[in-house]
Structure 1
Amino acid sequence: MVSVIIPNYNHAPYLNDRLNSVLAQTYQDFELIILDDCSTDGSFEIIRRYGNNPKVSHIVVNSANSGGPFHQWKKGIVLAKGDYVWIAESDDWCEPTLLETLVNALDANKNCVLAYVQTHTINDGNTILQTSAHNKLAELVPGKEYIKSYLTASCSIWNASMLVFRKRYFSNVSDRFTPFKMSGDWLFYIEMARQGDVFISGKVLNYFRNHDKDVSGKMYSTGKNYLEEIEILKILANDGQISPADYKSNLLEKFVRYTVHKYKFTAAVKGRIEEAFYSNGTASYKNYLRVNGTLKLLQIRAQRRLNMLFK
């Protein structure tokens, strides 16, 4: 059985699409756990309409906001009775075959800890903005290899709604992911992938919605995403998941990106970001990042000029 967890906060305009796309799955052996984090937009009026559906095992409404999405993840996973868990974000939706595709993959690969499909990113008008891709229709990747190739420089799993994971491995996942505002899923996937294989489907079966109430959008617009991305890199390095050289290389890539966009951020946030960049807890990286970051930016600008000349 699959435990489908829908954590909601102020996503009333999207809830019917989300719930109906779950209930319409071709794979029907699931329970539905609906969590509301003290919404103020009338979400509960929509949620309660589904209270008598036989698939719904729990509706839990917080009396106070939890302060972050990953506290809700943990609450739902603890309630889950299924062998598999799907965290179906409340503002997304999917094709009817998503669960069937991923459950079949997990059933066929007993050492697989999580499986995911590809996703469209869409806006409020359902226009496709971008689409994730994989170069194979299906692939099973050993966990350590997956972390190095797909979870170091960035998180290749764009959205929680595109994956299903095996619940029994959650007991070995630390609580370190819960305080994050945006990147807790990235750390969660790292800790899961340490324990087994990862299945990647090339099928595009998920719709990941970007809108003005999207947490990640607010993090990127303020620059606070860098604080969490740097923290993830530090955890990977401190846990021995990546080498010191890989840590420095990936930190440099983020620093260059930050340098290009930092004019958008407040002085207070820039101060916090630069403090995070320049120290990994044991040594200063100020000179390394400034010198190499400048060189990298010059190379990028020179390449752009060449591209313009030979267009």
Structure 2
Amino acid sequence: MPLVSIIIPNYNHSEFLVQRIESVLAQTFQDFEVIIMDDCSTDNSRSIIEQYRSHSKVTQVIFNEINSGSTFKQWSKGLSSARGKYIWFAESDDWCEPNFLAYLLEGFEKDSECAISYCQSYIIEGTNVIRSTSHHGFLSEIQGGKSFLENRMFVNNPIFNASMVLWKKELFQHVSTEFTDYRLCGDWFFWMELCQFGNIHISGRVLNYFRNHDKDVSGKAMKSGLNFVETLKVINSFYLRQIISKKVYDRAFKIQFRAFYPLKNQFSPAVTKEITHLFQNPLSSKALYYKIYLSAIWKYKKL
């Protein structure tokens, strides 16, 4: 049995596929299997994928006849075929350094309670322009999952790209299937579910290349305002299930409202109405909305 299952979900990323797959196959750590999935692409992805079907590392090639409508439904489907102890969702438009797996596996070797091991990422604009880079102050650090969930994931999510993460498959049984209901925030939801069941290994090494481009679903969703709708629904879900405290909930709500307020006129009236409704009806206290509203007005009046 392979130690790692690498799931490559693809939709219309033919121009990036070869670089993605080759960067996976070139790993210095080689005890892995590759599962390639295509969600009914309309470009020439299928012909590219077929070229790898007979590769010794590729154990499954799965073509959907009908588009699933969600990357996260593809995740679930891929996991049902995965045999590895650890899982890597290697998104089809990203790529990585050859020692990606070797360094992230160190987290599990150091700590038997490790649930997630992730690295830093270059954020790439278009084909090869480095727009920014994520950072961590240590080459390797273990943090408690509960603290990481409350103080990192709900404040400024450092795991912003699925391709930067390796995680322990046995924990999937504890993950709510709700993550498949989202178009944009399903990965954020997924990582926060895992944070409840183990520690987090953070590698300060920049091993992943996260590509932003015209076909990027997350970019389109953020321009539409869908990110605020889904983010607020995720925050509500974790509070309703008593996973986070009122203090964490209120802080997360405030952070989101301050991000939304200067952008509120950029979205369609229907989306703005839905977002406003969610903000006006917090689950912790009706007074919360008025507090964060007045706080935002005060902040932007001073600018």
**Fold similarity call, TM over 0.5:** yes
Q: 1: CA distance between counterparts of 2:25 and 2:228?
A: 37
Provide the residue aligned with 1:130 in structure 2. Answer: 132
> Match of 2:264, SS?
helix
Shift of 1:67: 1.1
After superposition, where does 1:38-187 map in structure 2 within 5 Å? 38-187=40-189
Q: 2: CA distance between counterparts of 1:31 and 1:80?
A: 8
Shift of 1:136: 1.1
Establish whether residue 297 from structure 1 lines up as the match of residue 300 from structure 2.
yes
Q: 1: CA distance between counterparts of 2:118 and 2:208?
A: 10
Residue 28 of structure 1, aligned match among 30, 46, 51: 30
| Contiguous gaps of at least 5 residues in structure 1 | 302-311
Q: Contact conserved, 2:122 with 2:209, CA < 8 A, in 1?
A: yes
- Structure 1 stretches of 4+ with a deviation exceeding 4 A read none
Q: 2: CA distance between counterparts of 1:287 and 1:22?
A: 49
Shift of 1:290: 2.5
Shift of 1:286: 4.1
Percent identical: 40
Q: 2: CA distance between counterparts of 1:286 and 1:146?
A: 26
TM-score, with structure 2 as normaliser: 0.95
Shift of 1:172: 1.0
Q: 2: CA distance between counterparts of 1:196 and 1:248?
A: 25
Which letter maps to 1:140? Answer: I
Q: Answer with 19-28 or 224-233: which moved more.
A: 224-233
Please give the per-residue CA displacement for 1:80-131, whole angstroms capped at 9, x wherever unaligned: 0001100000000000000111123212311101101100000223110011
> Match of 1:264, SS?
coil
Provide the residue aligned with 1:304 in structure 2. Answer: none
Establish whether residue 287 from structure 1 lines up as the match of residue 290 from structure 2.
yes
| Contiguous gaps of at least 5 residues in structure 2 | none
Q: 2: CA distance between counterparts of 1:269 and 1:209?
A: 27
Q: Contact conserved, 1:84 with 1:166, CA < 8 A, in 2?
A: yes
Q: Contact conserved, 2:38 with 2:62, CA < 8 A, in 1?
A: yes
Shift of 1:294: 1.2
Shift of 1:174: 1.2
Q: Answer with 79-88 or 239-248: which moved more.
A: 239-248
Q: 1: CA distance between counterparts of 2:155 and 2:241?
A: 16
How many residues get paired? 300
> Match of 2:83, SS?
coil
Provide the residue aligned with 1:207 in structure 2. Answer: 209
Q: 1: CA distance between counterparts of 2:150 and 2:26?
A: 36
Q: 1: CA distance between counterparts of 2:247 and 2:226?
A: 25
Q: 1: CA distance between counterparts of 2:284 and 2:198?
A: 31
Q: Contact conserved, 1:5 with 1:32, CA < 8 A, in 2?
A: yes
Q: 2: CA distance between counterparts of 1:295 and 1:132?
A: 30
Q: Answer with 278-287 or 140-149: which moved more.
A: 278-287
TM-score, with structure 1 as normaliser: 0.93
CA RMSD for the aligned pairs?
Answer: 1.3
